[in-house]
C-alpha cells in the first residue's frame, strides 16, 4: 500500500550548514558524551550480568520503581544513535564500545533467549508478571532497534542475532495460541521495532507478532493488565495511574477516536499502526490513524508541534488545553510524532503530514538539544519565567538519545522514491543517489533553508528518464514559483501539498523553487484559552520566540506587539552560527508597572520598545532566560 | 492607639434585603445543617472523651495525618457561628447543643487544664511534641473564640471558664521563662483569639501571651520546629513542607517584608499583629503590617480580593502570579483578609483598608457560600471549565464555618465610633445605637446597596451633639455627592477615603449620599500574565462574571468584549432574588471554531453576541457552569 519509500539517511549526504553543523555536533560531542554518562550513572554496568547487581545509584522513582527498569532501553537507543554515526563515518572506538555491550548482553541472555537485565539481575522469578508497568517489551524494542541499526551500519549481525533470539522467545510467550500469554506492553515500542525487523529481514512472523500486539491491545474481557495484577495479588482497581487511557489500552485500537494518555506511548503505537496499515493494506487501521491524526493536529498540538501538555501523565488532557509556561511537550513526544508523521506521509502522500513533520523537526523536537550538543530539554514549554533550563542528564534519559537518533538520521526525512516518481519533502543542501526502476538518479539540492526559501535542484539521471519530481510546497508558504531550466512555470498547481513535474529528465536539468519567506503572525484557534489575544511569529518552518537577554531595556512579559507593526527579518551573523532574527517595533505595557497598582479602571500606558525574536529551537542557549512564544497583540 | 472602635454586630440591626436575606439563610439553614454534618462526620463524637475514640471515618489526609487533628477547631468555629445566631435571636435548641458540647469538653479536660481531644483520646503522651504540624494551639484558639462568642451572646461563662483554664495552662507551658517551652503554633490563630480574650476581660496576661507567640515566631538560633523535630527523632530537613515560609516562621515577624506561605496562617497572624500594634502602640509591628498590606494588595491579590493562588501550599507564590482557572483563593483566606483589613482600618482609619474589606466581603469571601446556605466553595477560581462545583461538606470543613461566622456578624463591619466621630464604612439599610461620650446617637441607614449607590442616613442623637460623621467614599467611586438636610455640599473633600461632616447634629437630621454606579472595565497590571488582553467588569463593589447558562447561543470561552461596547446595568427581577446584571454587545470569536484549524495566519472571525454578566459571588448557583471573570477585549 506504501506507494513511496523513504530514502534512507545513509543514502543522503547532508551538505547544508544548518543540518551539517547539528549533525557534526551530534557525531562528535553528543554520542560520546552520552556514552560517558551511561557509564557514570551505572546504566552500562547494569548490563554486566551475572555480576551481582550494584546498589541502585538513582533514588527510586515514581511508584516505588527505579528508573533502572528502563535502562536496557537507554542502552538500545544509544546503540541506535551511535550506529547512525557509524553509518556516517566508521569509528573503531564506538564499534568497540558496542561490541563490548554486545558481549555483556550475550552473557546475560538466558538459554531460552530471554534478555532483560533488570529481571535477570534482580527479579529472575518475576519476568512477564507486570507488563503494565515494567517496560520489558519496551526495552526489547529499543534493543532491537539498536541492533538493527548496528547491523545496517556495519554489517555485523552478532547483536542482531541475540535480539532475534529474544524476539523468537517473545513470539513463543505471547500470542493467541494455547498456553501463550494474551499480553502486550504497557509502553508501546516493540511493535514499531518488530515492523523495522520485518522490513529488514522479510520474516513475516515479526510482522505477525507486531500485528498481534496491536490487535490484542485494549480488549477488556477481561483486560490483560487486570489479569496480571490479580495474579500478582494486587487489586487492579488500585492501579497507580487509575486509567488505561494512559497506555492507550482502554479500548481496542480501532475503536480509538481521540488521542489520550501518555504522548510517547501514543505516538509509538500510531507509528506501528501506520506501518501495519501499509504492509497489510489494512484500511481500518489506516482510517483509525487518520482520525487520530486529525484529532491531535486540530485540537491537541502546540504551534511548535509539541504534544502532551501535562506533566501528570506526560501526555494529553483536553481539547485546546495548551498552556504555555507549564507545557510538558516532551522532546521524545515530538520526535515520536515525526516518526508517525513520516509513516503517514508514506501511507498517503499528503503534504499535511510533512508539514507537521517539518514543524516538529525544526521546533518542538530540535529545541530538545542544546547547540553544544550536550544539554537537553525534557519539557519544551512555550513560555518560561527563566527557571526552565537545559540539563546535562536526567534520571530518565529517554529524550537525550531520542533527539540524537533523530538528528543523526535527519537525512532520511528528505526524499522518497515511488515507482515512477521522486518526492522532495525537506529542503536544504544535500545530495542523494536514487534507484528508480533500472535507472540511477542523482539529485543535488542547494539551499540555505530554513534561513532562505530559495532551492536549486540539479537532476542527474544516468540516462534520460521520465518520472515525476514532486516538490513539497510547505503549508506555511503563501506562494511558490518554480523554474525548470530557467523557465518559470505558469502558476504551478499544488496538489495535496506538492507540485508535480512530470517530464523526461536528463543530466544537467535544474529546477529552481522559490518559497517567499515573509515573517508572519500566527493566530491560535480562539478555543485555545492560553493564546487568546496573542500571536506567534513564524518565518518559513521556524517558530520564533523572544528571550529576555535580547531585551535589556524591557520586561519580557510586558512586550506588546501592535497588530500593524512591520515584522522584519534581520540576518545576524554575530548570533550563534549566523541566524535570521525577527525585529519589530513594539510596545512595553505599563511602564513602571511594578510600582503601579494591581488593578485600574483604565488601560495601562504603553511605551515604545523594539522586539527581537530568535528561532524557538535556539532558546536557552545563552543561560537562564525568560522566554515567550505567544506575544500579546495590541 | 486605636482611635476608632468597631460597633459590634450585636448593636447593628441589618434591615437591607441584601444582607438580611443572607443573614436569614445562615441563621435558619447554614448553622443547623453544619451541626448535622458535624454529627454525621463523627466530629462531635470525637469530643466524647473518655469513651474510646471511634475508628477514623475520614481517610487519612496528607502527610499521614487525619483531618481529625483539626476537629476541635471545627467545633470551636461552629460554636462561634452559632453564638452569633444566638446574639440575633435566642434559640433553646442551639443553646442545648452548645451546652452538651460544653459537657463533653468539661469531661475531656485534664486536671492541669489541657484540652485537646485528639491528643487526650489518641496520643495522650505526645502533647506539645509537634507544634509545627498538629494544630494544638490553633484548636485552642478556635475553641476560645467560640467560648467568647457564646459568653457574649448568652452571658453563660461555663465554656469560657473551661477555655480560660486551658489558656492558663498554655501560659504556664509556653514562654521565655525557665522550664517553659519556647514554642508557638505551626498554624497561627491562638494569637488573635488571645487578643479577643484580652479585650473582653482586660486581663493583661492574655495580651502578653499573644505578644510572646508573635515575638518569638521565626527566631532561628535554633528554630523551635527543628528542636522539636529532633526531639521526636526526626530530621528537621525532612520537613514535609520543606520551608518554614509556609507558616511564616522563616524569620522574625518584624523582618518579614513579603507575604508568603499559607494564606490563612498569614492573615490570622497579621490580624493578631495589628491587634498588638494597636494595644501596645507598637510602631514596628504597625509598620510591618503596613508593608505586608502593601505587598499583598499591590502584587498578590485577585481582583475579587481572593488571595493565595496555589493549591500546593494553599497560599502565596510569586508577585503577579494570579492564574484564573487554577486559582486556589480559599474562602477562609478572604474571610481572614477581612479580619485583618478591619484591624488595619481601625489602626489607621484609611479607606484603602475598607476598600479591600468590602471587595473581599462582596466577592472573594461571599462566593464561598451558596444561595441556599448549605453548599460551599473551598477554592474560588476566577474561571472554570464547568468542573468546579460547590460541595455540601469537605474533609477539612474550615471554610464552611468561616463564611458563616462572617455573614452572621456582618453588621460588625458597618460602623465605628471614635472619641468625637462616627464612621460609616459599609452601606445598606441598617440601624444602630451608639454611645458617643455621654450621648446616645441612633443612626438609621436606608440604601439598596450594593445594587444602588443611593444612601440616606438619619441621625438621631438624644440631644444636639457635635461630632464628625465620616462617610466612606469607596475606591471604586469616581464621584460622590452629599446632601445634608437636602442641601448639596459643594465638592466634598475626600480625605483618606472618607468625607467628614463635622457639625452639631440633632434629631431629624438627614444626610444623603449619592455614589454613581456605572459599570466599569477593570484592567489588571500588565505584569499579571493571566489577565493580559482581558478586562473584568465591576459595578459598585461587585465584580461580575459570565456564566455559560446565560449564553445558550455562544461558547463562553469565545466571548470577546469590544473596547468601545456600552456596558448596561439591567435589573433582573427574575434572577435569584432580583439582581442587577451587566449586558453588553459583544462578539463571539471564531464562529465554528471547533471545526476550524488549530492555527492560522490571520485572525479568526468574530460574530455578534450579547454578553450577560452576573455578580461573581452568585456563580455556580444554577448547577455546574463554565465561568469567566476576565474577558478578552477586542
Where are chain A's structural domains? 5-413, 416-514, 519-632
The pLDDT value recorded for residue B140 is 98
Predicted complex ipTM: 0.90
For residue B473, give Cα distances in angstroms to B341, B455, B492, B499, B539.
16, 12, 10, 7, 14
Backbone angles phi, psi at B540, to 5 degrees: 60, -135
Q: Cα B153 to chain center, whole Å?
A: 21
Q: Can you tell me the distance from the alpha carbon of A402 to that of B524, in angstroms, rounded to the nearest whole number? A: 42
CB contact under 8 A, B601 and A527: no
Beta carbons within 10 angstroms of residue A39's beta carbon: 12
Angle A136-154/A92-108 helices, nearest 10 degrees?
140
pLDDT band, very low/low/confident/very high, at A184 (cuts 50, 70, 90): very high
Backbone angles phi, psi at B302, to 5 degrees: -70, 160
Q: Can you tell me the distance from the alpha carbon of A410 to that of A66, in angstroms, rounded to the nearest whole number? A: 33
Chain B residues closer than 8 Å to A593 by CB: 525-527
Q: Can you tell me the distance from the alpha carbon of A67 to that of A57, in angstroms, rounded to the nearest whole number? A: 10
The pLDDT value recorded for residue B65 is 52
Put the strands of the sheet holding B430-436 in their side by side order: B12-14, B430-436, B439-447, B454-461, B509-514, B481-484, B487-488
Q: Is the pLDDT of residue B316 over 90?
A: yes
DSSP state of B499: E
What integer is the mean pLDDT of A100-118? 95
Give the minimum alpha-carbon distance from B206 to chain A in angstroms, rounded to a whole number: 38
Chain B residues closer than 8 Å to A602 by CB: 521, 523
| β-sheet bridge partners, residue A610 | A585
Q: Is the pLDDT of residue A577 over 90?
A: no
Nearest CA in chain A to B299: A598
pTM: 0.86
SS3 category, A168: helix
pLDDT tens string B135-191: 999 999 999 999 999 999 999 999 999 999 999 999 999 999 999 999 999 999 999
Backbone angles phi, psi at A619, to 5 degrees: -70, 160
Helices then strands, counting H and E runs in chain B, come out as: 16, 24
Q: Can you tell me the distance from the alpha carbon of B90 to that of B110, in angstroms, rounded to the nearest whole number? A: 31
Among residues A205, A77, A194, the alpha carbon closest in space to that of A137 is found at A194
Among residues B281, B367, B379, B402, the alpha carbon closest in space to that of B330 is found at B379
DSSP letters for A77-102: HHHHHHHHHHHHS--HHHHHHHHHHH
CB contact under 8 A, A603 and B523: yes
For residue B274, give Cα distances in angstroms to A324, B270, B277, B287.
40, 6, 5, 10
**Top CATH class, B5-413:** mainly alpha
Architecture field, domain B416-514? Sandwich (2.60)
| β-sheet bridge partners, residue A461 | A441
Chain A residues closer than 8 Å to B599 by CB: 303, 522-525, 536
Q: Is the pLDDT of residue A540 over 90?
A: yes
SS3 category, B260: coil
Put the strands of the sheet holding A454-461 in their side by side order: A12-14, A430-436, A439-447, A454-461, A509-514, A481-484, A487-488
Q: Can you tell me the distance from the alpha carbon of B108 to that of B151, in angstroms, rounded to the nearest whole number? A: 20
Q: Can you tell me the distance from the alpha carbon of B137 to that of B73, in angstroms, rounded to the nearest whole number? A: 10
Among residues B317, B563, B324, B529, the alpha carbon closest in space to that of A558 is found at B529
For residue B162, give Cα distances in angstroms to B84, B104, B156, B421.
20, 11, 12, 38
For residue A547, give Cα distances in angstroms to A382, A616, A621, A630.
11, 9, 10, 12
SS3 category, A576: coil
Residues 6 or more apart whose Cβ sits within 8 Å of residue A569: A517, A518, A519, A539, A580, A581, A582
CB contact under 8 A, B522 and A599: yes
Chain A residues closer than 8 Å to B528 by CB: 598
Give the minimum alpha-carbon distance from B218 to chain A in angstroms, rounded to a whole number: 28
In the residue annotation, A234 being an active-site residue is answered as no
Residue B425 grid coordinates? 464604612
Residues 6 or more apart whose Cβ sits within 8 Å of residue A189: A73, A137, A138, A141, A142, A268
CB contact under 8 A, B526 and A318: no
Nearest CA in chain B to A556: B527
Residues B459 and B503 sit within 8 Å (Cβ to Cβ) = no
pLDDT tens string A482-493: 999 999 998 789
Q: Can you tell me the distance from the alpha carbon of A319 to that of B594, in angstroms, rounded to the nearest whole number? A: 10
Backbone angles phi, psi at A234, to 5 degrees: -105, 155
For residue A335, give Cα distances in angstroms to A38, B14, B558.
21, 66, 33
pLDDT tens string B427-458: 999 999 999 988 999 999 999 999 999 999 99
Beta carbons within 10 angstroms of residue B318's beta carbon: 11
Nearest CA in chain B to A326: B323
What integer is the mean pLDDT of B218-238? 93
What sign does the CA torsion over A99, A105, A108, A114 have?
negative
In the residue annotation, A314 being an active-site residue is answered as yes
Q: Can you tell me the distance from the alpha carbon of A363 to that of A544, in angstroms, rounded to the nearest whole number? A: 9
Residues A378 and A394 sit within 8 Å (Cβ to Cβ) = yes
The pLDDT value recorded for residue A398 is 86
Q: Is the pLDDT of residue A213 over 90?
A: yes
Write down the mean pLDDT value for chain A: 93
The pLDDT value recorded for residue A62 is 38
Angle B31-40/B92-108 helices, nearest 10 degrees?
40
CB contact under 8 A, A557 and B632: no
Backbone angles phi, psi at B166, to 5 degrees: -65, -45
Q: Can you tell me the distance from the alpha carbon of B569 to that of B556, in angstroms, rounded to the nearest whole number? A: 20
pLDDT tens string A383-401: 999 999 999 888 788 889 9
Backbone angles phi, psi at A155, to 5 degrees: 80, 0
User: Is the preceding peptide bond at B43 cis, omega within 30 degrees of 0?
Assistant: no
pLDDT band, very low/low/confident/very high, at A46 (cuts 50, 70, 90): confident
SS3 category, A508: coil
The pLDDT value recorded for residue B432 is 97
A/B interface, count of CB pairs below 8 Å: 113
pLDDT tens string B231-285: 999 999 989 888 999 999 999 999 999 999 999 999 999 999 999 999 999 999 9
SS3 category, B493: coil
Count of all residues that appear for chain A in the document: 634
pLDDT tens string B77-117: 999 999 999 988 889 999 999 999 999 999 999 999 999 99
Radius of gyration of chain B (CA): 25
The pLDDT value recorded for residue B66 is 65
Q: State the catalytic residues of B.
A: 314, 398
CB contact under 8 A, B596 and A523: no
CB contact under 8 A, A596 and B534: no
pLDDT tens string B42-76: 899 888 876 666 555 544 443 445 668 899 999 99
Q: Which residues of A touch B (CB under 8 A)?
A: 297-299, 301, 303, 318, 325, 385, 476, 478, 520-529, 532-534, 536, 555, 557-558, 560, 589-590, 593-594, 596-604, 632-634
The pLDDT value recorded for residue A65 is 52
Q: Can you tell me the distance from the alpha carbon of A545 to that of A566, in angstroms, rounded to the nearest whole number? A: 16
Least trusted range by pLDDT, from A35-49, A366-380, B293-307: A35-49
Q: Can you tell me the distance from the alpha carbon of A564 to that of A535, in angstroms, rounded to the nearest whole number? A: 12
pLDDT band, very low/low/confident/very high, at B577 (cuts 50, 70, 90): confident
Q: Is the pLDDT of residue A519 over 50?
A: yes
Q: Is the pLDDT of residue B360 over 90?
A: yes
Q: Which residues of B touch A (CB under 8 A)?
A: 297-299, 301, 303, 318, 325, 383, 385, 478, 520-529, 532-534, 536, 555, 557-558, 560, 589-590, 593-594, 596-604, 632-633
Amino acid at each position: 500500500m506504501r506507494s513511496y519509500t523513504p530514502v534512507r539517511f545513509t543514502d543522503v549526504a547532508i551538505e547544508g550548514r544548518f543540518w551539517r553543523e547539528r549533525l557534526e555536533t551530534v557525531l562528535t560531542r553528543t554520542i560520546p558524551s552520552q556514552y560517558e554518562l551511561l557509564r557514570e550513572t551505572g546504566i552500562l554496568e547494569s548490563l554486566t550480568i551475572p555480576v551481582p547487581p550494584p546498589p541502585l545509584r538513582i533514588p527510586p522513582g515514581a511508584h516505588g520503581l527505579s528508573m533502572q527498569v528502563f535502562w536496557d532501553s537507554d542502552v538500545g537507543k544509544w546503540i541506535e544513535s551511535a550506529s547512525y554515526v557509524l553509518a556516517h563515518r566508521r569509528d573503531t572506538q564506538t564499534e568497540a564500545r558496542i561490541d563490548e555491550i554486545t558481549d555483556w548482553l550475550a552473557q546475560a541472555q538466558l538459554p531460552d533467549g530471554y534478555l532483560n537485565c533488570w529481571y535477570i539481575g534482580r527479579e529472575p522469578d518475576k519476568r512477564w508478571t507486570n507488563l503494565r508497568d515494567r517496560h520489558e517489551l519496551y526495552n526489547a524494542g529499543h534493543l532491537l532497534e539498536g541492533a538493527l541499526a548496528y547491523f545496517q551500519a556495519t554489517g555485523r549481525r552478532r547483536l542482531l542475532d541475540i535480539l532475534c533470539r529474544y524476539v523468537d522467545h517473545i513470539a513463543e510467550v505471547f500470542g493467541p495460541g494455547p498456553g501463550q500469554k494474551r499480553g502486550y506492553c504497557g509502553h508501546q515500542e516493540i511493535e514499531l521495532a518488530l515492523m523495522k525487523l520485518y522490513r529488514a529481514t522479510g520474516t513475516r512472523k515479526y510482522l505477525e507478532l507486531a500485528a498481534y500486539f496491536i490487535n490484542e491491545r485494549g480488549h477488556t474481557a477481561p483486560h490483560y493488565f487486570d489479569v496480571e495484577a490479580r495474579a500478582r495479588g494486587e487489586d487492579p482497581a488500585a492501579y497507580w495511574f487509575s486509567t488505561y487511557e494512559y497506555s492507550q489500552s482502554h479500548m481496542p485500537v480501532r475503536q480509538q477516536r481521540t488521542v489520550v494518555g501518555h504522548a510517547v506511548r501514543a505516538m509509538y503505537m500510531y507509528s506501528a499502526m501506520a506501518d501495519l496499515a501499509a504492509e497489510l493494506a489494512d484500511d481500518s487501521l489506516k482510517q483509525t490513524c487518520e482520525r487520530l491524526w486529525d484529532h491531535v493536529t486540530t485540537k491537541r498540538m502546540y504551534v511548535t508541534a509539541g504534544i502532551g501538555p501535562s506533566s501528570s501523565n506526560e501526555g494529553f488532557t483536553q481539547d485546546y488545553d495548551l498552556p504555555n509556561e507549564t507545557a510538558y511537550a516532551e522532546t521524545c513526544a515530538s520526535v515520536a510524532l515525526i516518526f508517525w508523521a513520516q509513516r503517514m506521509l508514506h501511507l498517503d502522500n499528503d503534504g499535511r503530514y510533512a508539514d507537521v513533520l517539518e514543524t516538529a523537526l525544526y521546533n518542538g523536537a530540535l529545541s530538545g538539544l542544546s547547540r553544544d550538543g550536550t544539554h537537553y530539554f525534557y519539557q519544551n514549554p512555550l513560555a518560561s519565567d527563566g527557571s526552565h533550563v537545559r540539563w546535562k542528564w536526567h534520571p530518565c534519559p529517554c529524550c537525550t538519545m531520542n533527539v540524537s537518533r533523530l538528528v543523526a538520521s535527519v537525512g532520511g526525512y528528505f526524499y522518497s522514491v515511488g515507482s515512477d516518481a521522486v518526492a522532495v519533502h525537506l529542503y536544504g543542501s544535500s545530495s542523494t543517489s536514487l534507484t528508480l526502476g533500472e535507472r540511477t538518479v542523482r539529485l543535488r539540492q542547494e539551499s540555505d533553508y530554513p534561513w532562505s526559501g530559495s532551492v536549486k535542484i540539479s537532476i542527474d539521471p544516468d540516462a534520460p528518464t521520465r518520472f515525476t519530481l514532486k516538490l513539497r510546497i510547505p503549508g506555511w508558504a503563501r506562494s511558490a514559483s518554480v523554474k525548470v531550466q530557467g523557465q518559470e512555470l505558469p502558476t504551478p498547481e499544488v496538489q495535496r501539498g506538492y507540485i508535480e513535474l512530470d517530464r523526461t529528465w536528463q543530466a544537467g536539468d535544474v529546477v529552481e523553487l522559490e518559497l517567499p519567506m515573509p515573517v508572519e503572525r500566527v493566530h491560535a484557534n480562539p478555543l485555545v484559552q492560553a493564546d487568546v489575544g496573542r500571536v506567534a511569529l513564524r518565518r518559513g518552518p521556524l517558530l520564533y520566540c523572544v528571550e529576555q537577554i535580547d531585551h535589556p531595556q524591557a520586561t519580557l512579559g510586558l512586550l506588546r506587539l501592535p497588530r500593524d507593526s512591520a515584522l522584519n527579518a534581520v540576518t545576524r551573523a554575530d548570533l550563534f552560527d549566523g541566524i535570521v532574527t525577527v525585529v519589530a517595533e513594539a510596545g512595553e505595557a505599563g511602564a513602571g508597572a511594578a510600582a503601579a497598582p494591581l488593578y485600574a479602571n483604565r488601560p495601562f500606558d504603553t511605551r515604545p520598545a523594539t522586539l527581537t525574536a530568535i528561532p524557538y529551537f535556539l532558546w536557552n542557549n545563552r543561560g537562564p532566560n525568560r522566554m515567550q512564544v505567544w506575544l500579546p497583540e495590541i
